[in-house]
């Protein structure tokens, strides 16, 4: 006999319980007013005074300020403190969604720091995860990309981002709002086919007819994340074995490193680059083409043949000497590099 389905309210409560129960610092909910984040706000209201709400107004269309104010009114009904965070940075026509995304997380993390929140919650759903996996599949991503959005990741060294609804379909959250009589908005940009995510959203029902459902894409993300975690752990172990810190530089034992599988070598070098020049604004996941070219066509052949190599990547100078030592340091200005040549 199959088990009875878990009621929707209970499913949301279970997803939120690990984050709400025993929280020792405030939580910040990112609420746009759509059905997903409205359901998040309603379900998380049980956290009481420890729950704060923020709406990011990107000011990209008429009426966005009033929409944000509407979220504030609903939050007030739930007894929650609400803040509108307005993006006031210069805009560009190209890449506007990516720029808005970066601004959104920057505004949220800054506000979380002001109120002492160690955790920011968003209402990304299984549908969002499926779209993300498809986008990264099209971009030729490795396992770290096919893992999609993580359920938990750092925003800053002190603040984490959690996505408790990644395993819940959007339709369930719409049904939750309707069952509780909650008003919600529909963002017209979600159907704007100028944007790749909107085009993929329209494609998903056709793929589902062939068996590639959002649930299966979600499972792919879980499996890729599991494999990625294992590779990452292995790479961290190897890095600790081959790295030696110097003054403003990092040296790697290239001969020892070259005995590892190529996937581990790339991850070790990626982690070493981050030690020298961490870039918190870099896209997640990073594009791997230049790293693959550096490692597969430059670094490993140079180590195997005992050749000197000098390259720059992500603001880091990578040098290989004839003895197989790899040196990484902050790259000098381009003029200085030309003059030394």
Bind-site residues for ATP: 32-37
Before 285, cis peptide (omega within 30)? yes
Q: Are 276 and 330 in contact (CB under 8 A)?
A: yes
Q: How many whole angstroms separate alpha carbon 340 and alpha carbon 321?
A: 17
> Residue 269 class from Cβ within 10 Å (0-12 exposed, 13-18 middle, 19+ buried)?
buried
Q: How many residues does the chain have?
A: 341
Q: How many whole angstroms separate alpha carbon 112 and alpha carbon 241?
A: 37
Q: Are 85 and 52 in contact (CB under 8 A)?
A: no
Token duo for residue 299:
């670094």
Pairing between β-strand 309-313 and β-strand 160-162 as defined by DSSP bridges = unpaired
The strand ranges marked E within 45-204 are 51-57, 81-86, 119-121, 152-154, 160-162
Q: How many whole angstroms separate alpha carbon 335 and alpha carbon 274?
A: 24
């Amino acid at each position: 006999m199959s088990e009875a389905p878990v009621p929707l309210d209970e499913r949301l409560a279970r997803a939120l319980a690990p984050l709400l129960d025993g929280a020792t610092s405030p939580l910040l909910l990112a609420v746009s007013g759509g059905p997903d984040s409205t359901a998040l706000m309603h379900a998380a209201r049980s956290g009481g005074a420890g729950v704060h709400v923020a709406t990011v107004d990107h000011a990209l269309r008429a009426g966005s300020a009033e929409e944000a104010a509407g979220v504030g009114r609903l939050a007030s009904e739930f007894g929650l403190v609400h803040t509108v965070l307005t993006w006031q940075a210069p805009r560009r026509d190209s890449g506007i969604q990516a720029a808005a995304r970066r601004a959104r997380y920057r505004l949220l993390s800054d506000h979380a720091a002001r109120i002492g929140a160690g955790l920011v919650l968003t209402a990304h759903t299984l549908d969002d995860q499926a779209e993300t996996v498809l986008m990264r599949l099209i971009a030729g991503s490795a396992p770290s990309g096919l893992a999609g959005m993580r359920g938990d990741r750092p925003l800053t060294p002190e603040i984490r981002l959690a996505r408790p609804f990644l395993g819940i379909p959007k339709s369930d959250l719409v049904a939750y709002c309707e069952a509780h009589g909650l008003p919600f908005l529909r963002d017209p940009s979600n159907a704007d086919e100028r944007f790749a995510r909107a085009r993929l959203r329209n494609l998903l029902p056709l793929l589902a007819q062939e068996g590639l459902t959002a649930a299966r894409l979600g499972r792919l993300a879980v499996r890729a994340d599991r494999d990625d975690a294992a590779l990452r752990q292995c790479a961290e172990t190897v890095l600790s074995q081959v790295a030696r810190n110097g003054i403003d530089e990092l040296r790697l034992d290239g001969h020892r490193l070259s005995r590892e599988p190529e996937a581990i070598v790339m991850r070790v070098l990626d982690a070493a680059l981050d030690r020298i020049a961490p870039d918190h604004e870099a896209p997640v996941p990073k594009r791997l083409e230049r790293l693959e070219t550096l490692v597969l066509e430059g670094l490993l052949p140079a180590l195997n043949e005992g050749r000197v190599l000098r390259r720059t990547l992500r603001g880091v100078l990578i040098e290989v000497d004839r003895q197989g030592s790899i040196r990484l340091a902050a790259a000098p200005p381009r003029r200085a590099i030309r003059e030394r040549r």
